[in-house]
Amino acid sequence: MDDARILICYDDSPESRHAVDIAARLFPGRDAVILDVAPFLTAAESIAETSLVAPDFGRLNEDEALTRARAGATLALEGGLQAKPRADLDTPTWQGVVDVADEIRADVIVIGTRAHTGARRLLEGSVSQEVAEHARRPVLIVPPPPTA
């Protein structure tokens, strides 16, 4: 994997920042795409969408995702990766990750996890688990950073 192309999932959470750090340590100098996948509409936005004067929520969500991806790319660059930001809109999130990984022919997907268990996992789901189940490539699931 000396010239591995890496897809790093990033949402500006502590877990995703930790995943960028781990990827930079494991794959120094590699090409990386820093991806944030946003929904077309959030639940609240879908209600507001029925208004005659509703903004283009999809565009706003994608812009916000690109802002987060740029922040992640900055972290990755500081860590020594050759990083480019990317935003995408998709629901469910894991589908967007898998589609972009296929498009760029990623050699590995790096994704953090919040390590939810029990009822919380059932209610919120696990993007990292879904990515691992559906991607046809290696997935590095980075556990949460140690607590101080």
Domain 5-142 has CATH 3.40.50.620: yes
**Domain boundaries of the chain, sorted by first residue:** 5-142
DSSP symbols for 5-70: EEEEE--SSHHHHHHHHHHHHHSTT-EEEEEEEE-SS-HHHHHHTTSTT---HHHHHHHHHHHHHH
Rounded to whole angstroms, how far apart are CA atoms 37 and 72? Answer: 13
pLDDT interval class at 46 (50, 70, 90)? very low
Residue range 18-44: mean pLDDT, rounded: 87
Q: Is the model's pLDDT at 37 over the cut of 80?
A: yes
Whether this prediction's pTM lies above 0.85 is answered by no
Instruction: Write down the pLDDT at residue 85.
Output: 98
